[in-house]
Amino acid sequence: MWRILVVEDSRTNMMLTVEVLKNAGHIPLEAVTASASFDIARRDRPDAILMDIQLPDMSGIEAARVLKSDPATSHIPIIALTALAMKGDAERMQGAGFDGYISKPFRYKKFLAEMTDVIQHHRGNGD
């Protein structure tokens, strides 16, 4: 069981992602803006962050850079969760500091498997 911070401004996408995480036994934390995610990440130290790219206050790419530059949050894996599903986007997201990339709409099992892979790889232990 992991604590996963979901940063998503769409109420529908937030509800879906939170339910998927809960059903899989994880503890979702929620933020609807990038700035709110900074406070939650510092305070609650989630095991991973699922970051939408198009947020109201700043892009998810900018938010990932802020989180990765902060010593308090730099160790947290950040996974882009986005509808931007063009060829080359996964590489572009990784180049921007993301540890993983999942396109929306996502498939339940594939989503959970990809999230698990990123978290385990980031921890380097395979548990």
For the entire predicted model, the pTM comes to 0.90
Distance CA 32, CA 18 (A): 13
- Which is the CATH superfamily of the domain at 3-119? Response regulator (3.40.50.2300)
Q: Exposed (0-12), middle (13-18) or buried (19+): which is 111, by Cβ within 10 Å?
A: buried
Per-residue pLDDT of the chain (127 residues; tens, 9 = 90+): 999 999 999 999 999 999 999 999 999 999 999 999 999 999 999 999 999 999 999 999 999 999 999 999 999 999 998 776 656 666 666 767 789 888 887 788 888 999 999 999 988 754 4
Domain positions in the chain: 3-119
Distance of CA 119 to the CA centre of its chain: 11
14: enclosing H helix or E strand: helix 11-23
The sheet with strand 100-103 has its strands ordered as 27-31, 3-7, 48-51, 78-82, 100-103
